[in-house]
Amino acid sequence: MESILIICFAVSFLITLFITPYWANYARKANLAVRDMNKANKPIVPTAGGVPVIAGFLFGLLFYIALKTFIFKNLTNATAVNLFAILCVILISCSIGFLDDVLGRISLRKSHRIILCLIAAIPLVALNSGKSMMSIPFIGMVDFGVIYPLILIPLGVSGAANGFDMIGGYNGLQTGLGIIILSALGILTWMHGSGWLAVVCFCMVFALIAFLMFNKYPAKVLDGNTLSYIVGALIACIAIVGNTEKAALILFIPYFIELLLKARGGMRKESFAVPNKDGSLDVPYQKIYGLEHAAIALLKKIKPSHKVHEKDVTSSLIFLEVIFAIAVLI
């Protein structure tokens, strides 16, 4: 069975690896490109990198479903229903993210994004996925009843999809964070006996690893909201269906900190840095309005050269997420 899973993950990896350069070329020709703001010359780079990622994820996961159905013949109805519900959520989120990448600079406001991502949760709401009984710190077990599917699930999906987009703007950052978070959730669900959910996680992880080869510094293609929405929505799906809400909340602690820092600036301050001609970065404001800025300020103090580059910011924030992932698994 393990060898079959490796094939499924390889399909996700190879499909994304094959499609990404073609997508980058097409996106550039279609003028679906943005400026890479942390470079001194601010080059125009193709975006909406979630398109090849979703392709690899879908092919890998559908290959797994086909094997379970036709070869092993052990795909239960409950698992199949949940799998396709998750697929529906991810596809709707991908459509919203792509719409945002195309129209976001023109007419799509933050409120529109939140409302649209609420709609993406409908498949999970319709199935009443997850368990309404949750353990609340200092209170104990609480049964949220109908509030869980009708309110908490949509808020969870929309919050995770939009929240995952908050930390970004640096080559490889969102992709790397997605790999760490979903790997932790994949290991956790496997340990809890939900092997099929672990497969869902790692199909996305291997697609992201392939995409990272083009998204790492210097990026040949940027992630865009197409990628951030599908990864954020998938994190919410795993948390809800796998009943790992606590773990997901711990893994999202950096995003809660980012929210507080962004709120400090009235949600108007950008995460970008001020690029210098030598490739180093400076903090754009006197105060800290994001973890990215905090990383730059801290690294400038501890590095002997006092120069911070884009790769340094990406590596430090991914390392921070690794710490939370280890805490969750322990």
Using one digit for the tens of pLDDT, what is the confidence trace for 179-223? 999 999 999 999 999 999 999 999 999 999 999 999 999 999 999
- pLDDT for residue 4 is more than 90: no
The 10s digit of each residue's pLDDT in 221-247 is 999 999 999 999 999 999 999 999 999
The predicted model gives 56-77 an average pLDDT of: 94
The 10s digit of each residue's pLDDT in 87-129 is 999 999 999 999 989 876 555 677 888 898 999 999 999 999 9
Q: What angle, rounded to 10 degrees, do the helices at 253-264 and 310-329 form?
A: 130
What number of helices (H) and strands (E) belong to the chain?
14, 7
Q: Please give the pLDDT value at position 197.
A: 96
pTM: 0.96
Q: Please give the pLDDT value at position 1.
A: 59
Q: Please give the pLDDT value at position 107.
A: 55
Cα-based torsion angle of the residue sequence 156, 162, 168, 173 in order, rounded to the nearest 10 degrees: 40
> Could you tell me which of 203, 231, 211, 167 has the C-alpha nearest to residue 61?
203
Helix spans in 41-76 (H): 50-66
Going along 208-306, which residue ranges are E strands?
274-275, 280-282
Q: How far are the Cα atoms of 21, 119, 249, 304 from residue 219, in angstroms, in the given order? A: 12, 32, 30, 27
Q: What percent of the chain has pLDDT over 70?
A: 98
Q: What percent of the chain has pLDDT over 90?
A: 84
Q: Please give the pLDDT value at position 2.
A: 65
The residue whose two tokens read 């993210």 is: 97
Q: Please give the pLDDT value at position 110.
A: 77
- The count of other CB atoms within 10 Å of the CB of residue 70 is 9
134 bridge partner residues? 142
Q: Please give the pLDDT value at position 203.
A: 98
Confidence band (pLDDT; 50, 70, 90) for 305? confident
Q: Please give the pLDDT value at position 105.
A: 57
- pLDDT for residue 315 is more than 70: yes
- pLDDT for residue 3 is more than 80: no
- pLDDT for residue 292 is more than 80: yes
**Average pLDDT in the chain:** 94
Q: Please give the pLDDT value at position 268.
A: 87
- pLDDT for residue 317 is more than 80: yes
Q: Please give the pLDDT value at position 106.
A: 58
Q: Please give the pLDDT value at position 108.
A: 67
